[in-house]
């Protein structure tokens, strides 16, 4: 008479094991399908929709989309610039002023010009800095004492800052501004991203 009791107990254990297995299976499936929970209370700032030349507040700089930056003018105004668009007028005017201020005295032909290296290094330094701040490739065209070829008699000609990292020009100073501008334009046009370049010419 005890065998039926043992059999019922075995069936009960088997049924319990089956129920547990089904519950575990459902729990695993629910966990796999449930979306991952994000950080509680953290809000992602929306991308700022602005055009080149607009001014923005300092707290909105981090919301600019890829390809746009905020250039800070001396009065702390932040102007939106884009790597693939021309620089806004206010930014160009400020950068142009820096170029014209640096190149005030390119020297006199026939004399030792101690400021030549200073002019070259300063112009390139400003071009590099503005390039980092704007995402553009900046080129300055400016007057300088030199010769073409380099061994010839020095004259007051026109030079320019680096156009690429691999510039290999036979002369660093050309006779006229037009020739210097033409060489820059030709080199820029041959680049894969000419729209990123911004050229400034010294105004005498």
Sheet holding 197-201, edge to edge: 155-160, 137-146, 197-201
pLDDT at 105: 64
Distances (CA, A) of 42 to 26, 58, 79, 84, 156: 31, 21, 29, 33, 61
Domain count, the chain: 1
pLDDT at 59: 95
Q: Does 46 fall in a domain?
A: no
Task: Give the contacts of 107 (CB within 8 A, at least 6 positions apart).
Answer: 113, 115, 116, 144, 145, 156
Q: Is the alpha carbon torsion for 166, 168, 173, 175 positive or negative? A: negative
Q: Return the bridge partners of 143, or none.
A: 158
CA nearest neighbour of 133 among 97, 200, 83? 83
Q: Does 59 fall in a domain?
A: yes
pTM value?
0.74
Q: Do 139 and 199 contact (CB within 8 A), yes or no?
A: yes
Q: Does 22 fall in a domain?
A: no
Per the structure, the complete domain to which residue 95 belongs is given by: 55-201
pLDDT at 92: 97
Q: Does 113 fall in a domain?
A: yes
Task: Give the contacts of 104 (CB within 8 A, at least 6 positions apart).
Answer: none
Q: Does 190 fall in a domain?
A: yes
pLDDT at 187: 97
Each residue's pLDDT expressed in tens, for the chain with a length of 204 residues: 444 444 444 444 444 444 444 444 444 344 333 444 545 555 667 999 999 999 999 999 999 999 999 999 999 999 999 999 999 999 999 999 988 887 766 666 655 555 778 889 999 999 999 999 999 999 999 999 888 876 788 888 999 999 998 888 988 899 999 999 999 999 999 999 999 999 999 987
Q: Does 9 fall in a domain?
A: no
Q: Does 74 fall in a domain?
A: yes
Q: Where are the beta strands (DSSP E) in the chain?
A: 55-56, 68-72, 78-82, 137-146, 155-160, 197-201
């Amino acid at each position: 008479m005890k065998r039926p009791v043992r059999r019922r107990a075995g069936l009960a254990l088997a049924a319990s094991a089956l129920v547990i297995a089904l519950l575990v299976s459902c729990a695993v499936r629910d966990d796999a399908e449930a979306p991952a929970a994000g950080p509680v209370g953290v809000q992602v700032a929306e991308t700022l929709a602005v055009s080149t030349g607009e001014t923005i507040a300092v707290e909105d700089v981090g919301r600019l989309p890829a390809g746009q930056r905020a250039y800070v003018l001396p009065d702390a105004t932040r102007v939106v610039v884009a790597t693939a668009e021309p620089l806004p007028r206010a930014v160009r005017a400020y950068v142009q002023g820096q170029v014209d201020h640096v190149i005030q005295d390119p020297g006199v032909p026939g004399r030792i010009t101690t400021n030549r290296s200073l002019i070259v290094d300063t112009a390139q330094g400003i071009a590099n800095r503005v390039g980092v701040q704007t995402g553009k490739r900046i080129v300055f065209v400016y007057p300088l004492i030199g010769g073409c070829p380099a061994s010839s008699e020095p004259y007051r000609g026109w030079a320019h800052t680096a156009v690429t990292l691999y510039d290999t020009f036979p002369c660093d100073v050309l006779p006229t501004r037009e020739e210097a501008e033409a060489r820059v334009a030709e080199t820029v046009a041959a680049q894969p991203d000419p729209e990123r370049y911004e050229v400034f010419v010294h105004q005498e």
